[in-house]
Every structure is written in C-alpha cells, then in structure tokens.
Amino acid sequence: MPKKLTPDNYKFSVAPMMGVTTPSARYLYRLISKKTLLWSEMIAAQALHKGDVNKLLSKNDIEHPVVLQVGGSEIDLLKNSAALAEKFQYDGINLNVGCPSKKVSQGNMGACLMKESDLVKDCISAMIQETSIHVSVKCRIGVDEFESYEFFKNFISTVAESGCDTFIIHARKAFLKGLDPKKNRTIPPLNYEYVYQIKKDFPNLKFIINGGFVNLQDCQNQLAKVDGVMVGRAIQSNPFLLTDVDELFYNQEPSKIDRLTVVKEYFDYIQSSFDHTSGYKLLSPLLAMCFGLPGSKKFKQDLNELIRTRDVARLKETYINLLAA
C-alpha cells in the first residue's frame, strides 16, 4: 500500500537511474533495506500519455516507499502523470529538472528547464493540485552559463511558490552542449556549498543532497547540514552498501541481512518473473556486483546460454559460487 511520505522518508534515497533502477533492481534493494526511499527511472510524461501505462508503471508491492520520476513541461501531460502515479500507488512523484541529455532537452524536459523557473512552478502547482501524493523536484545547481548562487536561489525561490517543499539537488551544474550525460556526471565540479547555503536561506524547505557520495558515513554526516542524501552509482555498483542504511538513517536495529539469503530470495523473484521480464533485466542488478571477481568473465560468457535455456537453478548456483569464491 502507498505510504504518505514524510520528511523522514527522504533521509536516504537510491537515485533515479535510467536503465538501472528498474522494478527488478528496486526489488533487490528492498530486500537489503526496508526503509530506503526508492526511485523509478525517469519516464517521459508524453510516454505516460501515449504508451502502455501498465507496462511503464508496473512495480512490485514490496517496493514501498517508492517515487515515480517523470520528465516533461506540458502541464496537462504532467497532471496526467500525477494522477497515474497515484492510481498506480506510487508514494510520491518527482519532476526531473536535471537531465542534460540532448534528446531530453529537445523534448523541453530535464536540466534545460532550470532556465524556465516560472514554467516549472506552474507545472508543479498543477501536479500538486492533481494528486494527494507528495510532489518534489530534482534539479542541478545551475545550467550552462547560469552558474551563480543567485541564479540557483532564484530558481528554488520561484519553484517553491508552487507549494513544492522538497528539492533533490545534484550538486553540480549541467552543460547542455558539449557534454554527454555521463560526462555531465563527472566533469562539472561538485559544489556542496551551494546546497548547504540554500538550506540556510530556505530553512523551511527540505533539501536532499546528491552527487559523488560513496560511503555511508559521509552520507550520514550530511544530515547535520541538509535533510537527506541520495546515492546513485555507488549503489548501482554495490547494492549491499544499503545494508546499514536502516540502522544509520532510520534508527532501526542493526541489520541481520546476510548476502547469501538476499541473493537466494532474489533468485526466487527471478524465477517467478522469468516469463514476463527479460533475463538480462532481471540479472543486471546482480551483475555489477561480480565485476572484477575471479571467474566473472566466464560467468558472463555462460550467462547467455543460461538465460537461453532459462536454467535459473544453474544460474543461481553459478552466481553463488562466484560470490563465495
């Protein structure tokens, strides 16, 4: 069942990542942490208008709390997305104002919208009116030549007039020309100071800091200055980083999770989903973990054959042996 998101829920999140935070990956993350806030990949509002919503919005009951991230700037389409997010029992909906990809910019979505704060305000106002689930914005600290703190502050101040009270800030600016999305996640320098300052300037708004965090202690230290932390690539490459999140961020008992049990439970899920989801999609959340392990090259070579023959039992055995090696 959907939960009413509170500020507490936003203390620790796995970042929305296209091609990564699929329902399968979110299933795996939830086996490891019961409390982490999970996020979908970005889905274009246009796709939700025209596409197969059952497919696009499908998720597992286990995932809660989970936020749907959408991209767009057409008010009617975003209202439709907000209504659908609620109908499909997502716990929150987020507007992407941070993606720098050319295709996304051409659709007037993502980071280019930082230059149109009034439009973002109107979009968010409409979404808030349309749904009772929580609405948030994920953005950068600037875009192209608009990199001053004043620009960032004006953006937040304008968008907050919509009633939006939660902003996830990827703490680097985006270059819309000349850098692909991957380089846009490494080349523009991180500037956490802007995020700390914006929290001081708007103490009543919630700010979640994102970008470059690789260990939980650093993440926890952020809570002295901001309201939460979002981590992307570090979780993608090692989902077990989530093991201590419930204890460190949500005052739960120390986790008794053991990796083997998680992997076994995840293979039960793979088994039950093999008929309607591609084998690669189901396995990819586990694959990153075995990169570099002795035998992983052979495992990847064997993978095609195992997927082709749908031999989940052998896949499981091979994977467990690989982890144990």
Ligand X SMILES: Cc1cc2nc3c(=O)[nH]c(=O)nc-3n(C[C@H](O)[C@H](O)[C@H](O)COP(=O)(O)O)c2cc1C
Instruction: Tell me which residues are annotated as active site.
Output: 99
Residues 117-156 that bind ligand X (CB under 6 A): 138
Q: Is 16 one of the binding residues for ligand X (CB under 6 A)?
A: yes
Residue type for position 102: K
Smallest gap from Cβ 99 to ligand X, in A, equals 6
Which stretch, 93-101, 216-224, 254-262, 284-292, contacts ligand X (CB under 6 A)? 93-101
CB nearer to ligand X: give 232 or 279.
232
98 binds ligand X (CB under 6 A): yes
Q: How far is the CB of 5 from ligand X (least distance, A)?
A: 17
Q: Which residues are CB-contacts of 121 (< 8 A; sequence separation ≥ 6)?
A: 158, 159, 161, 162
Q: Give the one residue of 159, 231, 241, 263 binding ligand X; rule: CB under 6 A.
A: 231
Sheet of strand 12-14: strand arrangement: 12-14, 228-231, 206-210, 166-170, 134-139, 92-97, 66-71, 38-44
For ligand X, give the closer residue by CB, 129 or 215: 215
Give the footprint of ligand X on residues 237-296 (CB under 6 A). none
Kindly tell me which residue out of 42, 113, 133, 198 binds ligand X, with binding defined by CB under 6 A.
42
Closer by beta carbon to ligand X, 174 or else 315: 174
Residues at the interface with ligand X (CB under 6 A): 15-20, 41-42, 69, 96, 98-99, 138, 170, 185, 210-213, 231-234
